[in-house]
Structure 1
């Protein structure tokens, strides 16, 4: 009930009471009671002793007592309404006559729950005594509504301030009108600092246009809300990714406002970027991987097409990387790959791309070139920078690479074709001995096709038993007696002519097939030695070449021991030949392996001596029995003084170290005579015999040819 309603009720009560007091005979008692009972408020009349004299039906309902309760007895106000506060105000009104308004009384214990009654107290006179009129208005609904509103406001306040997301209330102009602590945490500003800023000041310039377009549509009512991911500027200048949901609302004055809910997604974005980087970059080197490289190559081709420029694609393969990996371990190999990646990256322009294709292969994309000479200049720079010493596991290594180059648009107009051509050109560089670059030519395409065909056929050769061994006699120069043979691998495909070792041995090395092939050679040679011995021939020394991959890439000593046990071959008549370059690749590991082999009784020979970088002094650390002078020195020793001097020095120094000397490639009597004069121990070559089948060697041995 409003104050005016209270006043009306009081005035009406006074009028009725004055009518009773002035002329009771002129008023109808029943009529008076009906009027009082019909009042929209509860009424209690209290005498000067603060005893309730009467009350209307509304008050009886509020108090939950019978209507006729006070007709039977008078109750103290405290007994009727147990509220000390109401009693105090009633006493004050009775004593001073001062109206007492808005006295709140809580009525508990009712079946329908707690009720709230607002009392106004007025003093009046009756029969010369003071009386009090207590008019009570049921405000339960209004009070509960107010309490719910207060509770809702408190809940909103706490939710707003304690929310796990940033919440901002913006004015129509973007000014921050209200914000919460989470928003301060996201941006590093205090709440007061945020209230002094416009949201536009907190948004990255790159994201402003999109957001302003959405905000305009929101203002015009074209959309009811929007959501986007954007970057906000922190107080320290850093950028933070957030997800923003914005909705429009009107305040009590009808002014447009915007509620922004901001979720910090910086970690999510960082995780997404990490995943994207993992998908597009090599984990070991951090370089772009094949996927990203092909995307950039495609972009470079489109740009070159529009601008009339050229693009170079370089395929780079490290030389002898497998040997480093096998001899020094995978950690050293990984370290070399990382170092190569760094050198390549530092040698290129920012607009260029260097990617790791996989293993020891890299691809370089050079966009926006004027011509082939630009690519050649970069290739020379890359090779120079690669061929610088680096230390791996205490060993100094000189990396080098073979580079194949394809040019757009000359060699191809799409990524796949250019990469294929660059790969073919790389094999051309490999064929030159490595540490070279080659541009693609049409002939290389045919060679690449043949390379693939040969690789497939080589993989099937072992299964089809297409390999065989020929043996070349090793002859004692002094007596002319055959003292041993060297096992030489031959490949006889089922459907074509015999393939030269020069054509398939490098391919077997490259693909790794040389390891199982080499093991087959060892097994077959040992079995042949046992077969000759069992046929009654005198013991024959068999020499077998070990490839670099065999010697460095597996436990060759364990392999040899197993084959010796399997075949029954006499290790005292088995010689294993190793090139000096393989020994110098990892001298410590080589010495350990050779020591184990020598302990079995196997003899060891250095093949192609003089073609590498070792010296006789450096060979003293190895348990070597023989040196084989490379055929390149024997070929012209009777005409070339330098070759003759080298041969003389090798023989003399080898003998001083108690090593046996074997000359390879002896083709003429003059060469044989010279070697005999210089004291060379043994020889092999066409002058005595070409490599032949096992049966012909057996015939030689039985005939005692020499």
Structure 2
């Protein structure tokens, strides 16, 4: 009986110990569960941040891809020998092929053969990390007008490729040439203007000094042109000027210059003369060309020309004074009866 009592007391004692242990275990489990729940929330928050960052990165990548793909500029990624590693829609359009057909094709295959050394030199400088300006190249093929591109490139950070922009500047070059022509040629007659005249006269004077030859400056003013304009209008007058300009230009030799300097005034530079008399045939032909009848809109028109001439280096003046002297001689020709030429400093006309 006493053993049972002792056993029950031990059991009770063990029960109290077990209950305390159970209480401790439950507390530990509760704390562990709390920590796990907090950690789970932290992971969920981190995943949410990662998902947001990923979405922002994907959106940025899409914007970059759209900008790259749909840019009007042609972008190419090239290796050292010019192999096309990547391009955008504009790049494929520029070369006239689908992007899928451009893989591992060399850009040089689309460049005019005579321009390939320039392209190779350009890429060599880029991959050698040298400063290199944009280079103009002609595309291969029978294009009218020839297609011209400008190429710029920067070396990629891995130094294994370069990022290249190729711009079609064909229209720009044509506009530049047009502006250049407008700046140097008369729009109506297509003859050189004062700027080109001054340059060619200076050049011809220098040649005279080197070769021991002479040149003649002939200042020409049309007689009766104002009356044509007044009677028939500026359209007929302009058409007449165009025809006379063509005729007078054809009356000169290759190497001579005929320029329109304004209104109905022209200047001819007759080069490579050995004697004064060498200019006579051209001067006579100029007079004949200006005075020959012209039929326009059912009307026959006829004007003439007064020409003043000075000879260099017999007249040892600079270019401006040569023009001034020829102009003075032209007025003497008008006063002498028109349709003739007068030599500067002389009183006889032909």
For residues 242-253 of structure 1, the aligned pairs below 5 Å read 242-251=149-158
CA pair 243-201 structure 1, distance change in 2 beyond 3 A: closer
**Residue 315 (structure 1) aligns with:** 219
**Residue 314 (structure 2) aligns with:** 410
User: 2:214–2:275: 8 Å Cα contact kept in structure 1?
Assistant: yes
The DSSP-based 3-state class of the residue aligned with 1:159 is helix
Supply the distance in 2 between the matched residues of 1:153 and 1:382 (Cα, whole angstroms).
Answer: 72
CA pair 160-299 structure 1, distance change in 2 beyond 3 A: same
Following TM superposition, by how much is the alpha carbon of 1:59 offset from its aligned partner in structure 2, in angstroms?
5.5
For residues 367-382 of structure 1, the aligned pairs below 5 Å read 367-382=271-286
User: 2:81–2:106: 8 Å Cα contact kept in structure 1?
Assistant: no
The DSSP-based 3-state class of the residue aligned with 2:331 is helix
Q: Does 1:158 align with 2:42?
A: no
Q: Does 1:385 align with 2:292?
A: no
Following TM superposition, by how much is the alpha carbon of 1:167 offset from its aligned partner in structure 2, in angstroms?
0.9
**Residue 439 (structure 1) aligns with:** 343
CA pair 396-370 structure 1, distance change in 2 beyond 3 A: same
Deviates more, 1:402-411 or 1:158-167: 402-411
Match among 110, 133, 139 for residue 233 of structure 1: 139
User: 2:80–2:160: 8 Å Cα contact kept in structure 1?
Assistant: yes
Match among 220, 228, 231 for residue 327 of structure 1: 231
The DSSP-based 3-state class of the residue aligned with 2:188 is coil
Match among 66, 80, 84 for residue 176 of structure 1: 84
Match among 163, 169, 179 for residue 275 of structure 1: 179
User: 2:215–2:312: 8 Å Cα contact kept in structure 1?
Assistant: yes
Following TM superposition, by how much is the alpha carbon of 1:362 offset from its aligned partner in structure 2, in angstroms?
0.6
Higher gyration radius (CA): 1
- Structure 2 gaps of 5+ residues are 1-23
Report how many aligned residue pairs link the two structures: 318
The DSSP-based 3-state class of the residue aligned with 2:216 is strand
Supply the distance in 1 between the matched residues of 2:64 and 2:168 (Cα, whole angstroms).
Answer: 21
The DSSP-based 3-state class of the residue aligned with 2:177 is helix
**Residue 664 (structure 1) aligns with:** none
CA pair 229-307 structure 1, distance change in 2 beyond 3 A: farther
Runs of at least 4 residues off by over 6 Å: none
The DSSP-based 3-state class of the residue aligned with 1:218 is helix
User: 2:95–2:110: 8 Å Cα contact kept in structure 1?
Assistant: no
User: 2:137–2:151: 8 Å Cα contact kept in structure 1?
Assistant: no
**Residue 95 (structure 1) aligns with:** none
**Residue 427 (structure 1) aligns with:** 331
Supply the distance in 1 between the matched residues of 2:38 and 2:164 (Cα, whole angstroms).
Answer: 53
CA pair 348-273 structure 1, distance change in 2 beyond 3 A: same
Supply the distance in 1 between the matched residues of 2:188 and 2:80 (Cα, whole angstroms).
Answer: 52
Supply the distance in 2 between the matched residues of 1:171 and 1:307 (Cα, whole angstroms).
Answer: 55
The DSSP-based 3-state class of the residue aligned with 2:334 is helix
1:428-486 CA distances to partner (integer Å, 9 max, x unpaired)?
A: 4334433323333x347xxxxxxxxxxxxxxxxxxxxxxxxxxxxxxxxxxxxxxxxxx
CA pair 256-59 structure 1, distance change in 2 beyond 3 A: same
User: 1:347–1:385: 8 Å Cα contact kept in structure 2?
Assistant: yes
User: 1:321–1:333: 8 Å Cα contact kept in structure 2?
Assistant: yes
User: 1:174–1:200: 8 Å Cα contact kept in structure 2?
Assistant: no
CA pair 429-221 structure 1, distance change in 2 beyond 3 A: same
1:353-398 CA distances to partner (integer Å, 9 max, x unpaired)?
A: 2211112111122334444344222222223333322124533123
The DSSP-based 3-state class of the residue aligned with 1:256 is coil
Following TM superposition, by how much is the alpha carbon of 1:201 offset from its aligned partner in structure 2, in angstroms?
5.1
For residues 93-104 of structure 1, the aligned pairs below 5 Å read none
**Residue 197 (structure 1) aligns with:** 106
**Residue 126 (structure 2) aligns with:** 218
Match among 47, 50, 55 for residue 115 of structure 1: 47
What's the RMSD between the two structures over aligned residues? 3.5
Supply the distance in 2 between the matched residues of 1:235 and 1:184 (Cα, whole angstroms).
Answer: 16
The DSSP-based 3-state class of the residue aligned with 1:115 is helix
User: 1:403–1:437: 8 Å Cα contact kept in structure 2?
Assistant: yes
CA pair 197-348 structure 1, distance change in 2 beyond 3 A: farther
Q: Identify the structure with the greater helix proportion.
A: 2
Supply the distance in 1 between the matched residues of 2:69 and 2:94 (Cα, whole angstroms).
Answer: 14
1:133-163 CA distances to partner (integer Å, 9 max, x unpaired)?
A: xxxxxxx64x666655544444333222101
Supply the distance in 2 between the matched residues of 1:227 and 1:281 (Cα, whole angstroms).
Answer: 31
CA pair 413-269 structure 1, distance change in 2 beyond 3 A: same
**Residue 9 (structure 2) aligns with:** none
For residues 638-657 of structure 1, the aligned pairs below 5 Å read none
Following TM superposition, by how much is the alpha carbon of 1:190 offset from its aligned partner in structure 2, in angstroms?
4.5
Supply the distance in 2 between the matched residues of 1:189 and 1:270 (Cα, whole angstroms).
Answer: 25
Return the TM-score normalized by structure 1.
Answer: 0.40
Bigger RCO of structures 1 and 2 (CA < 8 A, at least 6 apart): 2
CA pair 178-203 structure 1, distance change in 2 beyond 3 A: farther
